[in-house]
Amino acid sequence: MGNRPDDLRALLDSVAKQDGDPIETVVVGNGAPVTGVEDFPFVRTVDLPENLGIPGGRNVGIEAFGPSGSGVDALLFLDDDGLLPGTDTAELVRRAFADDPKLGIVSFRIADPETGLTQRRHVPRLRASDPMRSSRVTTFLGGANAVRTQVLAEVGSLPDEFFYAHEETDLAWRALDAGWAIDYRADMVLFHPTMPPSRHAVYHRMVARNRVWLARRNLPAPLVPLYLGVWVLLTLVRRPSASALKAWMGGFKEGWRTPCGPRRPMKWRTVWRLTRLGRPPVI
């Protein structure tokens, strides 16, 4: 969005230092022109006249490599205020995809650059007490991941209409339903400052709206009320402020009243697979 130029240059510098083949890079200006990247010859830029949201902007980046990213084997998605502290991350990604033909998505470990600590919410599984343990998971982190482009060609890209929140889980569930695997890799690290997601003004409304959309689009009909009922209870238990709860409830209602995109409920064997992986699709 053009508001973190120094962070963006630091990120691109860390990409340039990666071992192995150079990484072709696209920077999408989401409603703002991309400036200050002239010193990075491996970078192409795309300036969008308006902010399309996180999934919309990333989808533009995907298409910059050809339909569904077909010009490359895999894509890294990196937040512009992130940083790759190691020079071997790209090689680790290449090796992971080469070693496991069914691996479709890799989720990196996000660590605070000052403390090196990883927040529980950045470990994409329920058993999140040990962020240093790699494992198969059922979702991934949007600004610190790698996706095999064959996955995008097969199941489609991120849902533009979500704008912000839960777009990764929507793609993850579709990928899992198609038979792909998702790994959380503790050895692939992105430095990112620790910030609460609620700093975004739209957070509570869109988290609730997109949660409803996620269920309506992807879950078998009997699981939709169960999944959403659990999340209503969890939200109330967390005791948000009155203003946050009002925004959340408004988003929840909006999720039922507005179109959510095509409905493609996952197979029951995918529900069982998610359950075996430790996260049944009701939580």
Q: What is the 3-state secondary structure (H, E, C) of 97-112?
A: HHHCCCEEEEEEEEEC
Under 8 Å CB-to-CB from 49, ≥6 apart: which residues? 31
Specify the DSSP element, H or E, that contains 244: helix 242-257
pLDDT at 202: 86
Domain 5-195 has CATH 3.90.550.10: yes
Distance CA 217, CA 260 (A): 7
pLDDT at 125: 94
pLDDT digits (tens, 9 = 90+) for 6-35: 999 999 999 999 999 999 999 999 999 999
Measured at the CA of 278, the angle between CA 264 and CA 214, to 5 degrees, comes to: 30
pLDDT at 195: 77
For 25, which DSSP code?
Answer: E
- Give the global pTM: 0.96
Q: Provide the 3-class DSSP secondary structure of residue 250.
A: helix
- The answer to whether 151 touches 76, Cβ cutoff 8 Å, is no
Domain map (residue ranges) of the chain: 5-195, 201-265
Block means of pLDDT (10 residues each) for the chain, 283 residues, are: 95 98 97 95 97 97 97 97 97 98 98 95 94 98 97 98 97 98 98 76 92 98 98 95 94 97 97 96 91
pLDDT at 199: 56
Specify the DSSP element, H or E, that contains 56: helix 53-63
